[in-house]
Every structure is written in structure tokens, then in C-alpha cells.
């Protein structure tokens, strides 16, 4: 069987599309796991996105803890003889996957960028060396665990008529030695670059924090309103919060339109936005690497180009 779990609904739905392809190819059932509340509506939704069966594990656990969640998954995997386990590759998911791999003695491939069958073996690709190479990996035995980040796979079309089973479970979980005392939400500007359709992104080509208004103005004109940035803008200069940070160590995005202004195009930035629909690069250096990844390139000073582009678009689209 193939099992899918993530604590993030959207990520679960994305992984279900690859999970159902895999399950179909190896002729097995696709199971999704919900841990926490008895949420039958969510279970139905997972079925309409490709799951054959949904396990709802009701419990009182208030916060995610990999010790407890991995114990629950271990029990389900043993009951259902799962061969492949697909886990959402967010922070919790990565911790969960590696702990679970230790518990069930499974191989674990983190951050897969593709999963397919080759010579009848489940094969995964993942980018390594900061995006400079792709490793192709297979398991020597089952079970095997694969983690997948958001925006790697597109969800299947929702099919409300799809039928599946809902199985309700309760497990007694052993008390673990660690305890969560407090969970503090990260300060954020409620920006969700991962779901944005249009992103105007700022790099080190901006001289001051105030100048980001030029990017904001263009984003407003495009009715996109989402601002992204390269690592130095969020991590070093702190002109924008980390919610905006795009790249290998930031967010992975897949908008319809990505405009990169004053960004050189280092591989670590490209790793986070290369799947965008149309990429427009604005850079004053004609040799800038970003142009290699761009569909449209504007060689020029962003201080001239951004306002002119915003005005031209305003005239065109109103
Ligand atoms: C392990 C690791 C992980 C990393 N993860 C990430 C990540 O997730 N995301 C990320 O972005 N980076 C990441 N980096 C950093 C990455 O290598 C680059 O250093 C970074 O992306 C550079 O940011 P930048 O393009 O904004 O700045 P720069 O490389 O300094 O480029 C600035 C660009 O602006 C252009 N420019 C200057 N003035 C103007 C102007 N007036 N008009 C137009 N163009 C102008 C310049 O020609 C230049 O091309 C990572 C690095 C490492 C080692």
C-alpha cells in the first residue's frame, strides 16, 4: 500500500496526486492519515482528491510531536503493510519522516522533486549541492519513506463523486520524555508567497528598504500584491520578513508570473522559483545569471524600469 501524511491540508492534497499515480502503477491502495480531530469532511475531501481510504486517528494531542505522531504512523504501517510512505516535507514532516524511518527500519528520501517507477522500482529524484546536481535514488528494501515539499506536484482535479472508506482509529500512545510547554507563533506579515499567482521579487539591486515601494507599486498594478525577495533582503538586511524569502532555504513558489528585480539568479534563489509559469528578470548587468532562467529579460536599472513598467501596465490594464 501507499500511505500519505502531512499536517498541512494543501500539501496532503498535492502529494495525493503523486501517491495515487504510484499506487495505481504498483497496483496497491492509497491510504491517507488524519491525526487529531474526527474530521470526516476533510477525509471526504482527501477521497475526492484521490485517496482510496482515510484513517482518522482521534486523540487529545494538542501539538505536533514527532515521537507521538511517528508512533501512530508506525502502528498504521504495521497494520496495513504499507510499502511506501509519502510525507509532506515541511519542518514537522521532515522530523517525522526521519524518526519514523528509524522506528520501522526504512530507507528515507528527503525532498523528492520527482517520483516514478524505473525497472519496476520506486525511484526518486532530489536536488543536491545547492541545486547544482540531481541525485537519483532507489530503495534496497521496503518500506520506503519519501518526503515531498509543497508545489512539487499539482493536485488532481477534485472529484466529489469519488468513493472511499473512512476508518476510525484510536491508539494508546506511550508517554514520551519530552513535553511541549508553549508554542509561540512566528511574527509574520501574513504573506503567503507559496499560493501567490503573481510575485514581484526584490534582490540586492535595491539600495534602501524604502525603495521596495517600487516593487509594491508594480505588484499593486498587476493586482498581485505579493512581494518576494532573495535571501539577503530577508536574512541579512531584514528589510522584509522571512515570509517573503524565496529559494532553496526559503519558500518554494510556483506563481503564474514571477518578476525578479535586482536579483542576480544564483542557483539557491532559482531553486525556489524555477517552476514559475513566466519569469521576467530586470537587471542592469546583461551577463546576470538570472537571464538564463528568464522567459523575458529587461536589461536596465530597476529604478527606471519598475516605475515605467507600472505606468505602462496601468495604461494598458487600467
Ligand atoms: C546554503 C545556501 C542557501 C541559500 N539559500 C538561498 C535562498 O533560499 N534564497 C536566495 O535568494 N538566496 C539563497 N542563498 C544566497 C545566494 O547564493 C545568493 O547569495 C543570493 O541569492 C543573492 O541575492 P541577490 O541576487 O539579491 O543579490 P546579488 O547576488 O548581490 O545580486 C544583486 C543583483 O542586482 C543587480 N543590480 C544592482 N543594482 C541594480 C539596479 N539598480 N537595477 C537592476 N539591477 C541591479 C546586480 O547586477 C546583481 O545581479 C543561499 C546560499 C547558500 C550558500
**Is residue 9 over pLDDT 80?**
yes
Q: Which residues contact 118 (CB under 8 A, 6 or more apart)?
A: 138
Last residue of a domain, which of 136, 169, 202? 169
| Minimal-distance CA residue to ligand 1 atom 27 | 204
pLDDT of residue 305: 98
pLDDT exceeds cutoff 70 at 297? yes
> Ligand 1: distance of its center to the CA of 222 in Å?
24
Query: Over pLDDT 70: what percentage of the chain?
Result: 98
**Mean pLDDT, residues 33-53 taken together:** 95
Ligand 1 in reach of 217 Cβ (< 6 A): no
Of 79, 86, 14, whose CA–CA distance to 50 is shortest? 14
Overall average pLDDT of the 268-284 stretch? 95
pLDDT value, residue 189: 67
- Measure the CA–CA gap between 187 and 241, rounded to whole angstroms: 8
- Are residues 228 and 272 both part of a single domain? yes
For residue 173, which of 240, 103, 235, 118 has the smallest C-alpha distance? 103
Query: Which residue is listed with cell 474530521?
Result: 39
Residue 138 belongs to some domain of the structure: yes
Inside any domain, residue 179: no
Res 163 pLDDT > 90: yes
* Residue 250 shares a structural domain with residue 163: no
Measured in Å, residue 279 CA sits from the centre of ligand 1 at 16
Q: Are residues 27 and 120 in the same domain?
A: yes
Mean pLDDT calculated for residue range 172-190:
80
- Residues 145 and 233 reside in one and the same domain: no
Whether residues 221 and 78 fall in one domain = no
Classify 121 as helix, strand or coil.
strand
Same domain, yes or no: 70 and 105: yes
> What is the whole-number distance in angstroms between the Cα of residue 305 and the centre of ligand 1?
19
- Report the C-alpha gap between 75 and 217 in whole angstroms: 53
**Which residue, by CA, sits nearest to atom 7 of ligand 1?**
247
How many domains is the chain partitioned into structurally? 2
Please give the mean pLDDT across all residues of the chain: 93
| Residue 193: predicted pLDDT | 92
CATH code for position 117: 3.40.50.620
Looking at 169, 204, 222, which one is the last position of a domain? Answer: 169
Together in a domain, 128 and 212: no
Q: In the prediction, which pLDDT does 19 show?
A: 97
Instruction: Name the closest-CA residue to atom 41, ligand 1.
Output: 301
Which domain range does residue 157 map to?
Answer: 2-169
pLDDT attached to residue 187: 66
pLDDT score at 188: 63
Amino acid at each position: 500500500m501507499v500511505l500519505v501524511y502531512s499536517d498541512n491540508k494543501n500539501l496532503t492534497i498535492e502529494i495525493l496526486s503523486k501517491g495515487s499515480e504510484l499506487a495505481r502503477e504498483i497496483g496497491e491502495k492509497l491510504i491517507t492519515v488524519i491525526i487529531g480531530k474526527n474530521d470526516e469532511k476533510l477525509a471526504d475531501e482527501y477521497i475526492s482528491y484521490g485517496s482510496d481510504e482515510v484513517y482518522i486517528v482521534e486523540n487529545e494531542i494538542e501539538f505536533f510531536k514527532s515521537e507521538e505522531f511517528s508512533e501512530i504512523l508506525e502502528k498504521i504501517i504495521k497494520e496495513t503493510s504499507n510499502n511506501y510512505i509519502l510525507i509532506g516535507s515541511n519542518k514537522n514532516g521532515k522530523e517525522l519522516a526521519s524518526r519514523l524511518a528509524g522506528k520501522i527500519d526504512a530507507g528515507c528520501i528527503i525532498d523528492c522533486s520527482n517520483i516514478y517507477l524505473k525497472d519496476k522500482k520506486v525511484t526518486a529524484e532530489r536536488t543536491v549541492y545547492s541545486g547544482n546536481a540531481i541525485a537519483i535514488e532507489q530503495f534496497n528494501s521496503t518500506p520506503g519513506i519519501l518526503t515531498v515539499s509543497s508545489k512539487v506536484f499539482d493536485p488532481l482535479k477534485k472529484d466529489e463523486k469519488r468513493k472511499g472508506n473512512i476508518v476510525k482509529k484510536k491508539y494508546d500512545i506511550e508517554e514520551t520524555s519530552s513535553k511541549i510547554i508553549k508554542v509561540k507563533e512566528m511574527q509574520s506579515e501574513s504573506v503567503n508567497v507559496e499560493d501567490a499567482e503573481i510575485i514581484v521579487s526584490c534582490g540586492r539591486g535595491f539600495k534602501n528598504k524604502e525603495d521596495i515601494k517600487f516593487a509594491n507599486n508594480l505588484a499593486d498594478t498587476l493586482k498581485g500584491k505579493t512581494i518576494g525577495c532573495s535571501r539577503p533582503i530577508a536574512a541579512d538586511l531584514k528589510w522584509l520578513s522571512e515570509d517573503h524569502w524565496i529559494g532553496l532555504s526559503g519558500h518554494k513558489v510556483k506563481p503564474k508570473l514571477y518578476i525578479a528585480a535586482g536579483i542576480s539568479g544564483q542557483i539557491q534563489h532559482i531553486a525556489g522559483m524555477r517552476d514559475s509559469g513566466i519569469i521576467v528578470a530586470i537587471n542592469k548587468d546583461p551577463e546576470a545569471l538570472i537571464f538564463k532562467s528568464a522567459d523575458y529579460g529587461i536589461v536596465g536599472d530597476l529604478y527606471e524600469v519598475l516605475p515605467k513598467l507600472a505606468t505602462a501596465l496601468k495604461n494598458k490594464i487600467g
